[in-house]
Amino acid sequence: FDKFRTDFVNAGMGRFGSGYVWLVLDGGKGKILDTPNAETPLTTNQTPLLTADVWEHAYYLDHRNLRKAFLEAFLDKLVNWESAAKNLRGR
């Protein structure tokens, strides 16, 4: 989990401007990716399992310009893992 957490946060931090960071199922394997603006993996053969909105409006009131703090709080306190598991089972 520690490597996943680090990789997920880094992907979100690496997204310049607005977009999303995703955990997707790609060819039977989990993969972390980031997309700009309103692009989604729904247009590919990837199955979205989990996503974090890294547009500034998603975290500014609680975290100001601290995107990393938002992503860490997202993974530590906000993720609905049951929903992510349901997305995995429902594919």
pLDDT digits (tens, 9 = 90+) for 58-87: 666 666 778 899 999 999 998 999 999 998
Distance CA 83, CA 23 (A): 12
Contacts of 55 (CB under 8 A, 6+ apart): 18, 19
Distance CA 53, CA 22 (A): 9
For the entire predicted model, the pTM comes to 0.85
Provide the 10 A C-beta neighbour count for residue 5: 13
The average pLDDT across 16-45 equals 93
Distance CA 6, CA 38 (A): 24
